[in-house]
Amino acid sequence: MTIDAFDVTESVIAKQIASSFAMEVRTGLLREGQKSLPPKYFYDSLGSTLFEAITQLPEYGVWRAERRLLIDNADAIASYANASMVIELGSGSASKTTYLLRALLAKRAVSYCVVEISRAAIEMTRRELASLSGLNVSGVEAEYLSGLEAALRARPANGKVLVMFLGGSIGNADYLSNARFLQRIRRLLQPGDGLLLGADLEKPSETLLAAYDDALGVTAAFNLNYLVRMNRELGADFRLPNFRHRACFDTRKHDVEMHLVSLCEQQVCIPAAAIVVSLEEGETIHTESSHKYSLDELADLTGCSGFECVMQWFDIEWRFASGLYRAA
Ligand code: AVJ
């Protein structure tokens, strides 16, 4: 047996790193080749607020498309899902969720639980839903799967659960991870439980590039805020003027990618992650991929994960799909 000195050192260092944020930053920035950071850490308090602003941008049609679909089909979704508990994975401000919850509440008492790693988003959600009477609201500050498992411990003895995963966040991971993710969700559910899933669809690359690199620079601020967060929470010394936002479209993968471009050769110290990162001029850090689905791919993904499609709705204007699925 050979013991790799790097692995040994790495495991010693890993034990000294305090948070999973620091650990994931470390792993992503030590990577050979393309450096990367996981998109889930965009959503600190300012990041969540900037994302709210993105949803209002004329170029970002994703959010409005899903809102149109939920407004138009809330009653149909509510009667088919017929759920007494709704668990939302990543709610943001949950302003779209209210349409569906109102339709469900017209039939029966409903409990709503949000699973979010962003405390800021949980607070926004509570404020948003406070006006819905008869709704029992709770929040779990956790990653999706462990949070879902925790939330399900309070599932009603006889009543169906509806899991919601909206906004097109399913596009942030690759096909295989998503298949595994949906399979795990399926295994935590009972036959007959529902899944409401939103997915952004393929569309011309000019439309997509404008949506992820808007004229006001809000998406740029959202992306650069990742550096601000690392400076504040990890003691890093990223100099913001040395970085620029870039959005590009990978025509082979059908992914919009966001990167932070290093404008000069530089070194950045990130004490909490116990690393010094060297960046070349023009080198990028990949912060997000947002996959744009074809309908076939979406059907394959949900089908192979143990979900049956009950109904599906499309927004023609922006090309977005909302589907209601049933745990088979
Ligand atoms: C919230 C993940 C669906 O990928 O479109 C918006 C995040 N990033 N603009 C997306 C985002 C840049 C958004 N999701």
What does 120-144 look like in DSSP terms, one character per residue? Answer: HHHHHHHHHHTT-TTEEEEEEES-H
Nearest CA to ligand 1 atom 10: 290
pLDDT at 62 > cutoff 80: yes
Nearest CA to ligand 1 atom 12: 212
Confidence of residue 3 (pLDDT cuts 50, 70, 90): low
Q: What atom of ligand 1 comes closest to residue 92's alpha carbon?
A: 1
Q: What atom of ligand 1 comes closest to residue 247's alpha carbon?
A: 12
CB burial class (10 A; 0-12, 13-18, 19+) of residue 76? Answer: middle
pLDDT per position as a tens digit, 148-183: 999 999 999 989 999 999 999 999 999 999 999 999
Confidence of residue 243 (pLDDT cuts 50, 70, 90): very high
pLDDT at 239: 98
Ligand 1 contact via 55 beta carbon (within 6 Å): no
Q: Which runs of E-coded beta strand occur in 148-274?
A: 160-165, 194-200, 243-250, 255-262, 266-270
pLDDT at 4: 73
User: For a substitution probing ligand 1, which of 37, 49, 55, 172 has the most ligand atoms within 8 Å of its CB?
Assistant: 172
pLDDT at 2: 60
Nearest CA to ligand 1 atom 4: 290
Query: What structural domains and CATH numbers belong to the chain?
Result: 2-33+208-291 (no CATH), 62-203+292-327 (3.40.50.150)
Tell me how far the alpha carbon of residue 286 lies from the centroid of ligand 1, in angstroms: 14
CB burial class (10 A; 0-12, 13-18, 19+) of residue 105? Answer: middle
Instruction: Tell me how far apart the alpha carbons of residues 204 and 62 are, in angstroms, rounded to a whole number.
Output: 14
Tell me how far the alpha carbon of residue 159 lies from the centroid of ligand 1, in angstroms: 33
pLDDT at 1 > cutoff 60: no
Ligand 1 contact via 219 beta carbon (within 6 Å): yes
pLDDT at 222: 98
The torsion angle over the Cα atoms of residues 137, 142, 148 and 152, rounded to 10 degrees, is -60
Ligand 1 contact via 48 beta carbon (within 6 Å): no
pLDDT at 295: 96
Ligand 1 contact via 198 beta carbon (within 6 Å): no
Find the mean pLDDT for residues 224-240. Answer: 98
pLDDT at 6 > cutoff 80: no
Instruction: Tell me how far apart the alpha carbons of residues 95 and 72 are, in angstroms, rounded to a whole number.
Output: 15
| Mean pLDDT for all residues in the chain | 95
Find the mean pLDDT for residues 124-137. Answer: 91
Residue with the larger pLDDT of the pair 325 and 117: 325
The reported pTM is 0.94
- Which among 288, 284, 325 has a CA at the least distance from the CA of 306? 325
3-class SS letters over 29-63: HHCCCCEECCHHHHCCHHHHHHHHHHHCCCCCHHH
Cβ atoms of residues 244 and 221 within 8 Å: no
Least confident of 18-32, 86-100, 286-300: 86-100
Cβ atoms of residues 48 and 116 within 8 Å: no
Tell me how far the alpha carbon of residue 290 lies from the centroid of ligand 1, in angstroms: 7
pLDDT per position as a tens digit, 180-217: 999 999 999 999 999 999 999 999 999 999 999 999 99
Which residue do the tokens 């409990």 mark? 111
Cβ atoms of residues 303 and 281 within 8 Å: no
pLDDT at 184: 98
Query: DSSP labels for 212-243?
Result: HS-TT-HHHHHHHHHHHHHHHHH-----GGGE
Instruction: Tell me how far apart the alpha carbons of residues 319 and 65 are, in angstroms, rounded to a whole number.
Output: 8
Ligand 1 contact via 199 beta carbon (within 6 Å): no
Ligand 1 contact via 287 beta carbon (within 6 Å): no
Ligand 1 contact via 62 beta carbon (within 6 Å): yes
Q: What atom of ligand 1 comes closest to residue 222's alpha carbon?
A: 12
Say what percent of the chain tops pLDDT 70: 99
Ligand 1 contact via 113 beta carbon (within 6 Å): no
pLDDT at 28 > cutoff 80: yes
